[in-house]
Structure formats: C-alpha cells, structure tokens
Structure 1
Amino acid sequence: MKKLRVFIGNNRMHRTLHAAILILLVFLLNIASSRDNMVPSHVTLSSSLTCRLVGGLTREQRTVCHKAPDTAAIAFEGLQLAVKECQHQFRWHRWNCSSLLVKSSNPHASSIMKRGFRESSFLYALTAAGVAHSVARACAQGRLLSCGCDPLGYRASHDPRGRAKVNKWEWSGCSHNLAYGIEFSKKFLDLREQVDDLQSKVNVHNNNAGRSVSVLFYKNV
C-alpha cells in the first residue's frame, strides 16, 4: 500500500471517498428505517460497562465515555456498523477491511489506523460518519436521555416550475439529530489526536470529511 497522508490533494480519490461514505449512509439509513417503528427504549445499564470493555481508547476518550456511557455505547455501534459495511463493500477486493478486526472491537486500535496509508484516510472518514449517523439516529429513536429528535429537518423542494432544486429547513416530524451526532463524533473521535502532530491533523481532516458527507447526505434525502 502506498502512503498518502492527505486525501484532499487527489480529486479522484476525493470523489471516491464521498461516494463510498454515501454508500455507508444509505446502508445505515436502511437499518434505521427498519428500527424506527420499534418501541423506543433507553440504552440499558450495560452501556456503563462499555468504557471498561472496549480497548484502544485514550485517556481523554475514556473520560468522555464515563461522562456519557449511553452515547458512547451508540458510538461504538456506529464504529462496528462502519466496519461491517467496509467489509461488505470491499469483499471482492484484495484489501477487504479484515485488518480492522481486532480483539478490542475498536477499529481505531488496528495497525492500519495508525499509519498514513490511503486506506487509513478512507477509514477515518468512514468511522466518523458512522458515529455521527448512529448517534443522530439514536436521538430520534429516544434511545438517549441526553438528546431528542431534531424538530427541523432538511427537505428538498422545487420551484413552481420544477426547474431548480432548493434545500431548506421545513418541519419534518422527528428527524435524526444530526447536529448532536456530529458534535459527539468530534468530541469523541478527534480527542484521539495530538494537537501538534502532523498526522493527527490529517486524521482530523479526514474525520471532518466524513462528517461533511453526512451533512451533504441529509440535505439531499
């Protein structure tokens, strides 16, 4: 694998990144639609064990986890869904995401996530989007005490002549709380990175790329 420290320098790879994360979000949205009709239930007390059971967390991440164990448990669901979707999308490729399968169940603890490979950049974006989406969905489902559904949601509409598509805020019932999901994704995942480290800055850049695609997705559904 050739090292590629910055994603944004390659337009072709940047387009590939956006397409891949959109595939992930469609996958997660399909799962969400199958669960939205279920009776909402709050995360059980077992979520408090998550902070101790999941390995590969930094001290700062464990602090966040202990303060919000229910949200952290949902974030880990998002990480696992991202890994499963990665395996599904690349199952016929030479690189099939198998390197993400580690004993700690935390893909960020895998060796590939600690390197500056092209695949690493993709995975940072993928997992950041997965966490943001899963937390946003859990808010709408009433699974978290710290947040609720977003009363306003993105709706796509057309002008009277049907020519121009316009994105605007409209009442759309109980929509996914994307703002809260993105906020927690930043708080939880970006804490892994060192402020003055070049590779850490690249990792945060890729995290932001994944979250920006999440916003793009919701603006166009």
Structure 2
Amino acid sequence: MRRTKCCLLLFVLLIHNGCCIKWLALGHSSNEIQQPWTREACTGLRSAGILERKQARACRAAPEVMPSLVQAAIDTSAVCQHSFRNRRWNCSNIERAPDYTPELLTGTREQAFVYAMSAAAAVWRLARGCALGSLASCSCATPPRREPPSPSALTSAFSASSITFGGLASRSSFKWGGCGDDVRSASRIAKRFLQGASPPAFGSTGKFLHAVNMHNHRAGRRAVEQSLSLECKCHGVSGSCSVRTCWRGLGSSGPAVAGARLLRRYATAAEVRPRSGGRLPPLYHHDNLLYTTKSPDYCSPDKNRGSLGTIGRQCNGSSSGYEGCEYLCCGRGHVTKTEEILERCECKYISCCYVKCKTCRSIVKTYECN
C-alpha cells in the first residue's frame, strides 16, 4: 500500500514538473504561426494538454503574443538540439512534447537547460515583436538615462562601412534613437505566460520543484537581458560621425546567443536539495541553473530515466572532445565504415550548351558507436 502511494506521488510530481514546458509542442506545426488565434483555439490547446489553465487564459486575453511564442518553441528545440548535437544526451526527446521522457520531468540538469532556454527564446521573440509593432502591450524600449560610451569604447558594428575615430569622433555628439528592443516588457509578458502553473498543493517537495523550475525560467530571462548590446548609427558629412544615434538591441543572431550563455551555465549548474517550506536556499545567484536530480550517463538505453543510449550514434574518430568516439561511445568502442562516393567533377562547357564532366571517386569514413 505504501509503495502504491509513493508511486502515485511520483507520478503526480512528474506530471506537474513538466507542465510549464508542455507549450513547446506549439513548435511542432508551422501552421500554428499563421492560424487565427481565437478564444476557441486557445481553449482547444488547453483541452489538448498543451497549455495550462492560466496559459490558456493568457492566450485568450492577448492572442497577438501567440505567434511569437510559437516561434520561441521552434527556437528552443532548434537551439537545444544544436547545442547538444555532439553529446551523449542530444536533446532529441524535446520533440516528444508535450509527452516528455523522464529526463525532462525529474529535475535534471537537462531539464534546467530546457526551462531556461524556453524562457530565453520567449523573451527574445516577444522583444522583437514589441519592436516590430505587432504587440499591443509594448513597442520600442525606453531610452536609457545614461550616455552611450565614447566611440573608441564601442564594440558593436556601425552601419558606416569605414569610420576613423580620431579627435573629431571623440567630440561627436550623440542621441538615443532608433528602436531598442524592449526586453523588460517582453520579460514581463513571458513571465506571466510561462509561469502560468500554480505551485502544487500536495506538499513541500512539489513546491520546491516548482521553485527550482521558476528559478531556471528567471535565469533564462536574465540571459536575454545580458545579451543586449549597444548599436549605433553615424551621421555627418562624408561619414564624419559628427552625430551618433544609439540604441540597445538584441542583434540579428536570434536566441542562440542566449543559448550559448545558458550552455555555459549548464556545465556549472548547482544541485539543490528540498528544504522546509519548499523554498530555495538563498545561496544561489539568479543566473545559475539549478537541478534536483543527478542525470544518468546516457550511455545505455534506460526508459525509466529517459536515456536513449549512444549505440549506433556517429562519432568523430579524430576528436578527443564530446563528439569523439572515446567519450560518445562510453568506452564500448566503435566500428569504422568505409564508403566510396562517386561524384561529377571537373565539368567544362563544350561548345555552347554541352557540359562534359569527369567522375571522381572519394572514400568517406564514418564511425559508429558499438
């Protein structure tokens, strides 16, 4: 009887612990971006188990934010799978949303990254939506009060092709202008949507897991804030840069910039233990990623822990890094496969409209884990 109750409690915890990232299933269909976001569509996603109750309510209240969130779901999956493409855990299970496997439900380091990355992608896309004028609740960022740094201190790219920052440039005037990305408003909108699930009412353990997830959401939002950079445009006769117009923006690289920050924090994530009241200990910086459960080594298949194993994975036979066969194959060894590739090459035009090519042969070696 006690074992049955424990299993039931664990099941409830798993269900709750993945609730705030079920919305990533929105990225499975590109049609979601273009669909009319009506109240019925939001309610339908709630019925399908993709949106939580409060998330569906936010969807109905501000349907114009949903295309940005759909794109954020796509970004989260793409950045995660690219970041971990050469590691034992390659983030492929994120495509199973909303029916996640245990490694994204049990408070692991990998779950911490996905939570943070989903928040970062949401803030990034919402901030761009603000700047483009597609969201009613925000627009361009309010200009900072402080002056931009001097031209010699700028590291961001200027629109002018070649600018010499001499004595004239150091005396150049400036003004805040353009349309900066309103990350603050975007973060507020994202927080209201992503943290739509209320803390569970069945004990301090569930509340603690909820607190950890919300912390990782905040770490993701902060990663976007820290990705803002100063962008300027020069004005003046013959590119003299007598006047500079500056703003703070996110650039054109997309959420992958924040993803790179979070990947570094994934490597230094801190393990935390439940404490009374379900609160986090006040020892961790807001930027840290936190996890509660140690991850498996992902070497062998283990459905109960969400491990697919690395058998059959391609590896790099000449690398000593994560993608190398020694690490990726977990010491089991690998097989080398040789394939002959025939390709057209050294093509030349003969007369007006005839192309003559040779057939080139190349040998390609691939390595697969045992």
Fold equivalence (TM over 0.5)? yes
Q: Kindly tell me: are residues 51 and 130 of structure 1, through their superposed partners in 2, closer, same or farther at Cα, counting changes over 3 Å?
A: farther
Question: How many residues of Structure 1 are paired with residues of Structure 2 in the alignment?
Answer: 170
- Measure the CA separation in 2 of the matches of 1:159 and 1:213: 25
Q: Kindly tell me: are residues 85 and 164 of structure 1, through their superposed partners in 2, closer, same or farther at Cα, counting changes over 3 Å?
A: closer
Q: Which residue of 1 aligns with 2:94?
A: 100
Q: Within 5 Å, give how 1:16-55 maps onto structure 2.
A: 46-48=36-38, 49=41, 52-53=44-45, 55=49
Q: Does 1:210 align with 2:200?
A: no
Aligned equivalent of 1:75, options 66, 69, 72 = 69
- Measure the CA separation in 2 of the matches of 1:80 and 1:140: 20
- Measure the CA separation in 2 of the matches of 1:45 and 1:90: 31
Q: Which residue of 1 aligns with 2:54?
A: 60
- Measure the CA separation in 2 of the matches of 1:156 and 1:137: 24
Specify which structure has the higher proportion of strand: 2
SS in 2 for 1:47: coil
Supply the RMSD in Å over aligned alpha carbons. Answer: 3.0
SS in 2 for 1:82: helix
**Sequence identity (%):** 29
User: Which one has a bigger Cα radius of gyration?
Assistant: 2
Structure 2 residues not aligned, in runs of 5+: 1-32, 156-174, 231-248, 250-370
Shift of 1:164: 11
Q: Kindly tell me: are residues 176 and 163 of structure 1, through their superposed partners in 2, closer, same or farther at Cα, counting changes over 3 Å?
A: closer
Shift of 1:51: 5.3
SS in 1 for 2:178: strand
Q: Does 1:110 align with 2:100?
A: yes
- Measure the CA separation in 2 of the matches of 1:186 and 1:72: 14
Structure 1 residues not aligned, in runs of 5+: 1-42
Q: Assess if the C-alpha contact under 8 Å between 2:42 and 2:56 holds in 1.
A: no
> Runs of at least 4 residues of structure 1 off by over 4 A?
153-157, 162-165
Q: Which residue of 2 aligns with 1:124?
A: 115
Specify which structure has the higher proportion of helix: 1
Q: Assess if the C-alpha contact under 8 Å between 1:135 and 1:181 holds in 2.
A: yes
- Measure the CA separation in 2 of the matches of 1:95 and 1:155: 44
- Measure the CA separation in 1 of the matches of 2:194 and 2:137: 19
- Measure the CA separation in 2 of the matches of 1:46 and 1:164: 43
